[in-house]
Amino acid sequence: MRIPTLPKSNILCVPMKVQAMMVGQTPSPTVFADIADNFSRIARDPLGDQVPPPNMGEKTQEKPGIHLSWILPKGLRQGVQNEEDLEPAYPVVPNRWIVSRLWSTKRQPDQVLCRHWIVESDAMEKERGPNFGNEDSLTYPKLDDPLSPYRILGRSFPFEANLNEPLERLQNLNALGPGNPAFSAMYPYHVNVFGFYDELMDQSGNRLEDISVSYVIRGYYHNYPALIESEEVCRNRYGWMPPEGLIYPAFPVLHGVVTGLSWVDDGKDYNGRFISSLPMPKLAAGNSSVEAVSALHAANNLSNERLMRVLLHDQSHKLMNLNGIYHADYTDHERRFQIAAEQNSYVLQSSISDDNQQGPPDLSPDEQRLFRNLQQGLRNRYKHQSDADAKRAAIYDLWCKYIITAYTITPMGNEPAKERMEQYEYELAREIQSLNLTESALEDLGEHLKTLEQQLSDSIQSFYDLQQTAGDRFYEPNSPVLLLSGASRGNLFDSNPADGGLLKCRLLGQTIKSLKFDFKFRENLYSLSLHTDQLLPRGQVKGVYPELLLEALLFTSDIAELLVPLIGQQLDLLPLSEDEHNYLLKVVNQVLEDFTKRGIQHELPDPMFLNVWREPWNPVLLCWRGLYYPDQNLVGSHPKLDNWNFQGTDYVYHTNEPDTRESVVMEGRIFLTPHIAEQLHAMTLKQLGVEDAQTYGDLTQLDYLSQTLEGFNERFLMSQLALRFPIMVFNNGSAELADLVRNALGSFAAEKPLFNSFFSPLRGGWFKLDKLRLIDTFGQFQEIRCDQYAIAEDMRMSPVPIGQYMMLPPRFMQPTRLEFNWIQARSGANCDFNLPDSPICGWMIPNYLDQSLLIYDEDGYMLGSLIVTAFDGDRIHWRNAPGTPEREPLGGGTAGLPDGINPDMKAFLNEFLRRSREHQEDVLTPFLDLIDSALWEIHQPDSAGSSGLSQYAGKPLALVKASVKLVQAGPPEVYKFFDTFKGPDSPPDISIQPFKMPLWIGETHHTGDGAIGFFVHDGQTGYKQFNSSFADTGYASDYFKHNHQVDVPADDQANGTALSLIMDPYASIHLISGMLPVSEHQLPQDRIEAALKRLYLTFYLGPLLAGGESYVMPLTQLPNRQWEFITPEDDGEWVETTDLQPSNGNAFLISSPLRAVEGWLKLKLAESSESESQ
Amino acid sequence: MQARTDWDNSPHVIRRQVRRVLGELAALAKDQPVSPEPHDDELIAWLSQLCLLVNLPFHYLIPAESMLPANSIRLFYVNPNWLQALVDGACSLGRNASLDLTHDQELIDAVITQIGKRVKAVRPLLQNKTVTPKELEDEVQAIGGFLLRSPLVRGWRGLEFKALSSQGTSLRALRIELLSDDVLIGLFEGVPYTLEMAQPPEGFFFGFNRINGEFSKRLRDLDSGELLSESDSVEVVLQNKDMRTIDVYQTAKNMETYFQKEVTSAEFALQMIKTPYIGRVIRKDE
């Protein structure tokens, strides 16, 4: 037996989906949206504002007939970013399509007629008309032709027609077309490119009626190099499974069929009734898809909303921890923001091995100075970059004013218009010059940084690597997200993951050529092989790759009707009775069915290629319109949060009823994605495992579509995300100026300015949806009910999840960050923990036995203690450390504070002493009580080692310095005023500068939060007032303020708010504002350990029974520690005894005379360790 | 956000809740059976030793020599308040804030109860003996003991001590330990009314009495071996007073005379056995 050889070929048959829409009588009201861009308007509006149609535009009429659209395979729709800084590259798509209509009438179902058209996707003309074959084609930008900056793209004509070569051809057509991500997906954008309109006319010019129709599409590359260079490219780049025998380089040929259309006539309404019968999707809104879907489930009583959010955010494991609910809340809150920008900073990474116990040496003073200059230089560079971008935005705004003046407001020749244009030209030149200076400074700065980097790297290379790492982040709030459930999303864009996710493709030679029929008829057995080229008369088969057409014919819905007479003819069985005809129909259908099942793995193409028609409905676009009701207190010259209460991590409005007196219309268009279903699926798999998750069905097929309301946030800053065109002029305006502006802007992504419109750098208010329109791939739309919908917990006041108004808590609309810095204890500069900087001014340990506060300097050496004495009046005394001369002045009273003490520590201590001295006020006792209260809430496991010593006497707390500041990316946004545009006569006084953002320092009941309290250095209170959430409201003294909130000004010229904090050094501090994500800050452990290792403890001891010279007491021997006993002598001197005899229980009678002594037992670092640490 | 505000309670409420939880924990701990295994609860084991005055500086017990002169014995009663203060002091390390104090306040009783049971296991475990949990079910109510300073301590290793209550019942020894060459401490479960000190019984020796210059031997019953009355004595005949030798034959003859029968060498040996001395200290006040 001869083994058939596999065919070899360089043609790869790639299946694709084809969809069709029948249109008869346009329903009233219409269901067709007008969404196509009109690039012909560019000539009179170089900004492109008039190119897109109105947001809720409609078509009153759609052409009757059948509209076809084919969906490119995923591999041709995806771009690949080869290098980080480059835009993604999209592959070239086929530029020729053969559309073949196969139809039969009801009267003659066994007679299949065929007609073919060619669609040339790349044909471009300047005009439209039947002679050009592009009556239904759409416009396409051609910006390098100033006289006619657009073309008509694509044409179609009957196969047998002979059209002239078009004016030009578009090279390298890709799925994005003119830059529209929906170009290849939506028919209204791509008629005669990836779509075709069949008016269903016969040769006489009459419309066909009562026919069964199928269409076969074949797409190929004309005059283009082979796309598939290798097997690797085929698999990895395009996701196509190459068949065995494919020769490279190979050409892909796309093919697909839609069958089962039943066309009656053009008087029938195929669309209106269908659209009105669609189920109404459920709607939900949130700050993210997760919030929206959680709200939706809560509204349907399906699950606990909050828990579902925790699950979908993958935070459920955190709930097992002591502070888990805080962490889950913080994460929840953080997901309401997005990172708008990130700034790097320099770090020093040790380059010596971990085995080296000593670690790298500290940097020399010169190296430290270099490093600080580098950090500052990098910060300056970011600032310059932001300034440059702000300047570019201002230049673009000016350019818009210039163009609007030139093309829209007043016609050419008008003197005032000319003067204005001259004025704008002058301003533009000035701004461009300023931008050039900034860029020049940037360049110089860049070079300077390179030099500094090199210098420092050379100096420290033996021990350190100098690197950059992600640092500060600027945040902006998420725009609201809308989610639709039950929108009857089809599977048009789903890929079929077979064979490891690769699309099954075939060689051209692998197409089906014949079909075998074995059956019994009229008492005889018959076996017949019918070849596909017998299905159609030769003259009816047109176009390249006819195999694909003939194969597709086998899968059309009425093929059995065609095959029965053919079989009859071949076997000479005609004529057939009606029963025999029906019998043979059954036989043929059975053979086809069996073949389909059997051939799926082998000869047949991927099922994707066969589309049995049903009414198309694949919604992808949502047009939205809503009303924003701002809180008037936030829009003005002095914004205030008077109408907002803070709860937990965010704000809520003070009443349930929104203030709807003023409203702002907002609208836009968004492309919906099913991503949330995939996220649900992934989380369910993770939490439940594969087996249990399967009980919930295929969650990836959940009918959820969602998307952020893009452009919502930009509206607050008078911008709009809209199609922007390159800087150009046509018949009006200066081409030279355009060149200057274009060069100045470079690749800057400009946003369309909305002059004289609503401006609010602070968002806060209510939002209500007014109109929603869901649009499918053919431009059909469904109006979505939006009077009541599920609203996420954070966006509503009511416990009931259903409502109409979304509450929008206050947010900064310009990217903002909260800058928190630890401040060096002595110098006042910001700390950089790559260097030996420390913000610790000193240490304190509360001693409840003696009612005192032990005080240590920043290095851990004991200075003394504040103690409550029994003296009348001035009760609070300072005692120097035991062993210090003049610990206590002769005659009693307070000793002087030691020299050289940190100034902040001194000021802190002096306040206690001053109040005692001047007002006989004891604030030390309530202060100790306050710390005691705080220690009920703080539980941070200390590290092993030195801090364990604190357990003997108390918990060491640190006095540290810090500052907080609000920083916005770039200069503050201002009102975009255009004096000749409709609107106010002058820019309204709206500013964020006077705004002060409340900031809560420390999360009181979070056991890992170590904030005890703080002092604010505002020039008034300083160390005179201690702010703490642990302060008892019943304290009579004004020293204590029950408060843990501080105001941070938004003024970009303001210095940071300086603070001194008393905190548990091992715990962290949370900064909570609601308007930004919660931030957490902690002191580096190595800064703490060095001091705490040195910190020594003294315990007052007495009476101790002693005899002779030695002291015997049961002492614990601790590694690297030694004991001393310090006793005062009568003459005021101190004696330090180090040779302490450890006692055990043995009978050891001390020698006489027996005496009782008192003193201080001191536990300190052993001398050998001391010298090491120094 | 809403749910969390429910438990942002006032400090007083939080403290009350914490105290309640600690109290419940203490109630559970108090009734917990004490494990005799040394590694099961090291803290209770260590505190138990402390309550038996182990490692306590001696001069805190006997500050001056005059309180325990040479060749003296002193009996005492251990003050439970003092022990509780000792335990409290040992547990006070790490007691920084009132939270720690509250914790200890709620739990100290339970700890002391546990110690009261565990002290009974200290001595047996040191002797590598097993202790059943049943033996540790009850707390020690009182501890009494003695301090002995005497050459006996050095000279007679293995002195045995037995304490009896006022009813004559034997008191469990909790600790008997040398503190130095001539100082020994003993602690018992209960207050000793009679303290017996006996020579170690391990070594057998022969001996006889010397009373008023006369040498005699108190006889034993030949069958049971029990000592007969004081008057049932025979003379021990010396062979050579200077050489400190006795006349075994003649002495045996004296025994035969008493018993009216021949006395074998084994029976002679039985008669000559000297039981360990027992010294008794008896409390006279009632």
Predicted pLDDT of residue A6: 46
Has residue A302 got a pLDDT over 80? no
Shortest CB distance from A936 goes to which of B55, B64, B99? Answer: B99
Shortest CB distance from A647 goes to which of B1, B93, B180? Answer: B1
Model pTM?
0.85
Q: What pLDDT digit, counting tens, does each position of A458-515 carry?
A: 998 888 889 999 989 999 999 999 999 988 777 666 655 544 578 989 998 888 888 8
Shortest CB distance from B63 goes to which of A794, A952, A1154? Answer: A1154
Residues of B in contact with A1112 (CB under 8 A): 57, 59
Shortest CB distance from A951 goes to which of B5, B60, B94? Answer: B94
What percentage of chain B reaches a pLDDT higher than 90? 42
* Dist CA A830 CA A316 (whole Å): 37
The tokens for A323 are 């502070």
* Dist CA A912 CA A877 (whole Å): 9
User: Which secondary-structure segment (H or E) carries A764?
Assistant: strand A762-776
* Residue listed under structure tokens 């056991």: A1007
Residues of B in contact with A1149 (CB under 8 A): 58-59, 62, 64-65
Q: Which residue has the higher pLDDT, B213 or A1072?
A: A1072
Q: Which residue has the higher pLDDT, A269 or A313?
A: A269
Pick from A597, A720, A573: nearest CA to A55: A720
Peptide bond into A73 cis (omega under 30): no
Predicted pLDDT of residue A703: 82
Q: Do B96 and A1149 touch (CB under 8 A)?
A: no
Predicted pLDDT of residue A635: 94
What percentage of chain A reaches a pLDDT higher than 70? 93
The tokens for A341 are 């920008």
Whether A1002 contacts chain B with CB within 8 A: no
Window B:77-96, CB contacts with A under 8 Å: 93-94, 96
- For residues A411-433, give the mean pLDDT: 84
- Check the CA dihedral A273-A275-A281-A284 and report its sign: negative
Strands lying side by side in the sheet with B194-198: B170-171, B160-164, B194-198, B278-282
Q: Which residue has the higher pLDDT, A304 or A745?
A: A745
Residues of A in contact with B10 (CB under 8 A): none
- DSSP designation for A407: I
Q: Is A1020 exposed, middle or buried (0-12, 13-18, 19+ CB in 10 A)?
A: exposed
Q: Which of A294, A848, A1152 to mutate to test the interface with B (most CBs of B within 10 A)?
A: A848
Q: Do B58 and A1107 touch (CB under 8 A)?
A: no
User: Which secondary-structure segment (H or E) carries A670?
Assistant: strand A664-671
Strand partners, B218: B233
Predicted pLDDT of residue A1149: 63
* Dist CA A69 CA B151 (whole Å): 116
A942 pLDDT tier (thresholds 50, 70, 90): low
Q: Which residue has the higher pLDDT, A302 or A205?
A: A205
Q: Do A1113 and B55 touch (CB under 8 A)?
A: no
Residue type at position A1023: Y
Predicted pLDDT of residue A1165: 75
- CB neighbourhood size of A410 (10 A): 17
Q: Which residue has the higher pLDDT, B32 or A761?
A: A761
Predicted pLDDT of residue B28: 81
Has residue A946 got a pLDDT over 60? no
Whether A943 contacts chain B with CB within 8 A: no
In chain A, the largest separation of any two C-alpha atoms, in whole Å, equals: 141
Cβ pairs A/B, distance under 8 A:
98
Q: Do A1150 and B59 touch (CB under 8 A)?
A: yes
Whether A944 contacts chain B with CB within 8 A: no
Predicted pLDDT of residue A944: 39
Residues of B in contact with A793 (CB under 8 A): 1-2
Cα–Cα distance list, A530 to A554, A567, A758 (Å): 11, 8, 72
Q: What pLDDT digit, counting tens, does each position of B209-219 carry?
A: 888 888 999 99
User: Which secondary-structure segment (H or E) carries B33?
Assistant: none
- CB neighbourhood size of A179 (10 A): 11
* Dist CA A308 CA A648 (whole Å): 19
Pick from A675, A712, A785: nearest CA to A284: A785
Q: Do B1 and A1148 touch (CB under 8 A)?
A: no
Cα dihedral A381/A384/A390/A393 (nearest 10)? -80
Residues of B in contact with A1097 (CB under 8 A): none
Q: What pLDDT digit, counting tens, does each position of A1124-1152 carry?
A: 888 888 777 888 888 787 777 777 666 67
A240 pLDDT tier (thresholds 50, 70, 90): very high
- For residues A788-815, give the mean pLDDT: 93
* Dist CA A1015 CA A666 (whole Å): 44
Residues of B in contact with A1005 (CB under 8 A): 7-8, 14
Q: Is A886 left (phi over 0), alpha (psi -120 to 50) or beta?
A: left
Q: Are A915 and A907 in contact (CB under 8 A)?
A: no
Average pLDDT, chain A: 88
Q: Is A101 exposed, middle or buried (0-12, 13-18, 19+ CB in 10 A)?
A: buried
Q: Is A373 helix (H, G, I), strand (E, B) or coil?
A: helix
Q: What pLDDT digit, counting tens, does each position of B37-68 carry?
A: 766 688 888 999 999 999 888 888 887 888 89
3-state secondary structure A328-345: HHHHHHHCCEEEEEEEEE
Pick from A22, A208, A215: nearest CA to A100: A215
Q: Do B2 and A647 touch (CB under 8 A)?
A: yes
* Residue listed under structure tokens 């860049």: A446
Pick from A805, A793, A818, A810: nearest CA to A287: A793
Predicted pLDDT of residue A1118: 76
Q: Do B183 and A846 touch (CB under 8 A)?
A: no
Residues of A in contact with B69 (CB under 8 A): none
**CB-based contacts of A887-892 (< 8 A; 24+ apart in sequence):** A887/A1128, A887/A1134, A890/A1132
Predicted pLDDT of residue A888: 61
The tokens for A737 are 């100026």
User: Which secondary-structure segment (H or E) carries A628?
Assistant: strand A619-630
Predicted pLDDT of residue A985: 83
A931: closest chain B residue by CA: B97
A951 pLDDT tier (thresholds 50, 70, 90): low
Predicted pLDDT of residue B144: 95
Q: Are A801 and A298 in contact (CB under 8 A)?
A: yes
B99: closest chain A residue by CA: A936
Q: What pLDDT digit, counting tens, does each position of A641-651 carry?
A: 999 999 888 99
Q: Which ipTM did the prediction report?
A: 0.72
The tokens for B83 are 């022990």
Whether A797 contacts chain B with CB within 8 A: no
Q: What pLDDT digit, counting tens, does each position of A96-155 carry?
A: 999 999 999 888 888 888 999 999 999 999 999 989 999 999 999 998 888 889 999 999
Pick from A285, A287, A310, A280: nearest CA to A295: A285
Q: Do A648 and B1 touch (CB under 8 A)?
A: yes
Residues of B in contact with A1148 (CB under 8 A): 58-59, 180
Q: Do A1143 and B64 touch (CB under 8 A)?
A: no
A696 pLDDT tier (thresholds 50, 70, 90): low
Q: What pLDDT digit, counting tens, does each position of A840-874 carry?
A: 999 999 888 788 899 999 988 889 999 998 877 88
The tokens for A426 are 């002058």
Q: Are A299 and A807 in contact (CB under 8 A)?
A: no
Strand A211-220 relative to strand A246-263, pairing: antiparallel
Q: Which residue has the higher pLDDT, A906 or A678?
A: A906
The tokens for A694 are 């399967």
Q: Do A936 and B183 touch (CB under 8 A)?
A: no
Predicted pLDDT of residue A430: 95
Q: Do A935 and B55 touch (CB under 8 A)?
A: no
Shortest CB distance from A1005 goes to which of B8, B55, B57? Answer: B8
* Dist CA B276 CA B274 (whole Å): 7
The tokens for B197 are 């000190």
Predicted pLDDT of residue A715: 95
Predicted pLDDT of residue A1169: 53
Shortest CB distance from B58 goes to which of A931, A952, A1149? Answer: A1149
- Residues across chain B: 286
Whether B6 contacts chain A with CB within 8 A: no
- For residues B110-134, give the mean pLDDT: 90
Q: What pLDDT digit, counting tens, does each position of A980-1018 carry?
A: 777 778 889 999 999 999 999 999 888 899 999 999 998
Pick from A879, A881, A885: nearest CA to A863: A881
- CB neighbourhood size of B176 (10 A): 18
Angle among Cα A549, A554, A558 to the nearest 5 degrees reads: 115
Strand A195-198 relative to strand A1141-1142, pairing: unpaired
The terminus-to-terminus CA distance of chain A in angstroms comes to 92
B93: closest chain A residue by CA: A952
